[in-house]
A and B are shown apart, each in its own frame.
Chain A
Amino acid sequence: MQLRSKDLLGIKELSAEEINLILDTAETMKHVLSASSKKTAHLQGKSVVTLFYENSTRTRLSFEMASKFMGASSANISSSGSSINKGESLIDTVRTIDVMATDILIMRHSQSGAPHMIAPLIKASVVNAGDGMNEHPTQALLDLFTMRQHKGSLQGLEVAIVGDLLHSRVARSNLWALEKMGAKVRMAAPSTMLPKDLDKTPALVCPTVQDAVRGADVVMGLRVQLERQQKALYPSIREYARFFAIDDKTLQLAKPDAILMHPGPCNHGVEMPTSVYDGSQSVINEQVTNGVAVRMAILYLLSARRNG
């Protein structure tokens, strides 16, 4: 089996079988990561470019590490220091990258749908590393991978996702992914951060954070995206923390063996106190490691598809 599309644009575009294929492949990649020699030849001779229009630590570095571990030639561009600052359009920028024999283009962009727009216009495979408020598919895949490692199966899993649901592409990608894999999603947020018609999706919208967390197998906090706040959606940080944080008491409402997740970067004391972030149930650092394995799997599978 291989991926159906040349690109990885979003979870919405993937089937459950494709998600399983990526997660299974990532198991192998995780073994590579824990070996003393991390070099493989999966991407030998391939060229991988990351194009980031937004800041990133984890996503960008893990893609870069993933391509280097597998022997690809990799290069990076970001908006500062490139012709993007001279006003070059996205289309011209990616076509320029494409004609330099690029095999895989990894892009993060502040506009929803930016990777979908460029993918049909270029030969390279496009991997969406986050587009606006739409999707962050590789984050959802590494989240699923982490859940699967801890819980065995995703089927029937109760997952609570808490925080800024309005702006979160991580929440959206996780919702679509968990739905496809048979897990159940509960969501809670300040009511000003609930997208309209969320109740028409498979998500169960809960009135309080506590309602969402109660009895959950997985508790996921979302970052309060200060850079995406156009309007004041809550009165103050301390009020947010008082009513919407995942604190120790709230986490105790989840199943005793529940895991705590966060896509990072975390605003300590806002989404959760440091005691929870660093607590025994936290798998936040594992998520980061798994991110490298999952991205290795994605790059490998896209490259294998290109080889035919």
Chain B
Amino acid sequence: MKIKLSGGRVVDPVGLKELEQDILIEDGVIVEVLSGDPDQVIDATGLAVLPGLVDPHTHLRDPGFEYREDIVSGTRAAVRGGITAVAAMPNTKPVVDNPAIVRFIIDKAKREGACKVLPVGAVSKNQDGKELAEIGLMAEAGIVAISDDGKPVLTADLMKKAIQYAAQFNLTVISHCEEPSLAEGGHMNEGLVSLELGLRGIPTIAEEIMVARDILVAEYVGLPVHLAHLSTAGSIELVRQAKARGVKVTCETCPHYFTLTEEACRDFNTSAKMNPPLRTQKDVDAIIAGLKDGTIDMIGTDHAPHHADEKQIEFGLANNGIIGFESSFALGYTYLVLPGHLTLPELVAKMSTRPAELLHQKMGRLEPGYPADITLVELHKPFMFDKNASASKARNTPYHGWMLRGQVKMTLCDGKVVFPW
């Protein structure tokens, strides 16, 4: 199958430039020249052409919580958001802590998924924070990183062992930074709004203490660590200092940490309840500054689908998290590129090239030899984000009704049009 994609404005996240050029695809791979006339011509006139987005932080809930999401619905939501590969966190039921479950996920994704699913294995057996999971066997089965996401790696000793052992299998630990003794029982950021709502607060230091710990551990062993979903100004400053002295630390943030503050929790709005919690404007400003100066390497969605009755309940009992696949690129474009914080190629690097590097995947570039994972985006027309049009099983998003720019029009995965369907 030979495809010519022409007329679009191609965004190069590596050379950090945009140019009008054709993309040629043969048998699912980007090529320099086609071996004959194209079987299909895709007209991308007026659209931006990006490498398919790679999401380093997602929850597909499969196996175990299929009532919230499964590999089919999750990957359909992903491609609707221009995402062609998702790193799936292991807090499923059972936990992804052995090669059999890794194989189950990979097989199901290959058979039924709309895009690529990259399983992340657990750090510890059953994510209990005690003994290392079978990281080597899971690596053999196809995991792309390890994480106890959803929970912190409780002890510094286990974190040290995990970083060391995973590195031997060319895997990076993705750390969920949360000091439980400070965060426990909290439902939102600790501050004036939590005081006014009478909700228990989670202090910023609950995140920052673990950020500092993980940086020190990584520095001590001289190996990489990746810090997930950073939300506070203090965390960004710790990472900035660590990078300056050469620590192999990378980090990500999520669209909600640069578009929303704790104010969104007012009226006990559970669609603004997440962990780490939404913070203050000062933190939002620091996140944007960190994205700008390169302290923050990448953006992940932390796509966290929940059933309606897990969100439409008392705030303190509601589950943490929001769905993110279908709004993430538009939020990045509207809130980072349009105000001039990042260029479009810089945004695409943070949503595609850099996550692919973290997960050691040959993705995230529109270069010959790379898979034809391609996203076409309409950048100019504003659109209203409608949660009811979502392909996810879940509807827990705070962005319903927001006017955004950067709507995904078409997604190709391995040269196959996977959206629109």
Question: Which A residues fall within an 8 A CB radius of B?
Answer: 12, 89-91, 109, 111-114, 116-117, 131-135, 169, 172, 195-198, 200-201, 230
A109 to B191, CA, bound (A): 23
With A89-B313, A131-B198, A230-B185 given, is the CB distance from A113 to B192 under 8 Å? no
With A112-B199, A112-B268, A133-B200 given, is the CB distance from A89 to B309 under 8 Å? yes
Best-buried of A132, A135, A172 by chain B (most CB within 10 Å): A132
Contact assessment for B191 and A197 in the assembled complex, using a CB-CB cutoff below 8 Å: yes
Q: Which residue of B lies closest to A131 (CB)?
A: B198
What are 13 A-B pairs with beta-carbon distances under 8 A? Answer: A89-B309, A91-B312, A109-B314, A132-B316, A133-B199, A135-B198, A195-B195, A196-B191, A196-B194, A196-B203, A198-B195, A200-B192, A230-B185
Q: Mark B192-224, 1 if CB is under 8 A from A, else 0.
A: 101111111101000000000000000000000
Q: Which residue of B lies closest to A132 (CB)?
A: B198
Indicate whether B315 reaches chain A with its CB closer than 8 angstroms. Answer: yes
Contact assessment for A111 and B197 in the assembled complex, using a CB-CB cutoff below 8 Å: no
Contact assessment for A117 and B201 in the assembled complex, using a CB-CB cutoff below 8 Å: no
A3 to B190, CA, bound (A): 33
Query: Chain B residues near A111 (CB, 8 Å)?
Result: 314-317
Query: Chain A residues near B184 (CB, 8 Å)?
Result: 230
A244 to chain B, nearest CB (A): 20
Q: Which residue of B lies closest to A199 (CB)?
A: B192
Indicate whether B267 reaches chain A with its CB closer than 8 angstroms. Answer: yes
A201 to B195, CA, bound (A): 9
Could you say which of A113, A196, A198 contacts B315, with CB atoms under 8 Å apart? A113
B35 to chain A, nearest CB (A): 61
Contact assessment for A112 and B190 in the assembled complex, using a CB-CB cutoff below 8 Å: no
Question: Which B residues fall within an 8 A CB radius of A?
Answer: 184-185, 190-192, 194-201, 203, 267-268, 309, 312-317
Contact assessment for A113 and B199 in the assembled complex, using a CB-CB cutoff below 8 Å: yes
With A112-B315, A169-B198 given, is the CB distance from A201 to B192 under 8 Å? yes
Query: Chain A residues near B185 (CB, 8 Å)?
Result: 230
A196 to B205, CA, bound (A): 13
With A89-B309, A116-B268, A230-B185 given, is the CB distance from A197 to B195 under 8 Å? yes
With A90-B313, A117-B314 given, is the CB distance from A133 to B192 under 8 Å? no
Q: Which residue of B lies closest to A230 (CB)?
A: B185
A183 to chain B, nearest CB (A): 18
Could you say which of B192, B197, B312, B313 contacts A112, with CB atoms under 8 Å apart? B197
Query: Chain A residues near B192 (CB, 8 Å)?
Result: 197, 200-201
Could you say which of B195, B198, B199, B315 contacts A117, with CB atoms under 8 Å apart? B315
A201 to B184, CA, bound (A): 25
Query: Chain B residues near A133 (CB, 8 Å)?
Result: 198-200
Q: Which residue of A lies closest to B181 (CB)?
A: A231
Q: Which residue of A lies closest to B316 (CB)?
A: A111
19 further A-B pairs in the complex, CB-CB below 8 A; given A113-B198, A113-B199, A113-B316:
A12-B196, A91-B313, A111-B316, A112-B198, A112-B199, A113-B314, A116-B267, A117-B268, A117-B315, A132-B316, A134-B199, A135-B198, A172-B195, A172-B196, A195-B194, A196-B201, A197-B195, A198-B195, A230-B185
A132 to B201, CA, bound (A): 13
With A196-B203, A230-B185 given, is the CB distance from A113 to B313 under 8 Å? no
CB-based closest 9 A-B pairs: A134-B198, A113-B268, A111-B314, A133-B198, A112-B198, A197-B192, A111-B316, A195-B195, A113-B315
Query: Chain B residues near A12 (CB, 8 Å)?
Result: 196
Query: Chain B residues near A135 (CB, 8 Å)?
Result: 198
Contact assessment for B195 and A112 in the assembled complex, using a CB-CB cutoff below 8 Å: no
A13 to B288, CA, bound (A): 34
Query: Chain A residues near B195 (CB, 8 Å)?
Result: 172, 195-198, 201
Query: Chain A residues near B199 (CB, 8 Å)?
Result: 112-113, 132-134
A288 to chain B, nearest CB (A): 24
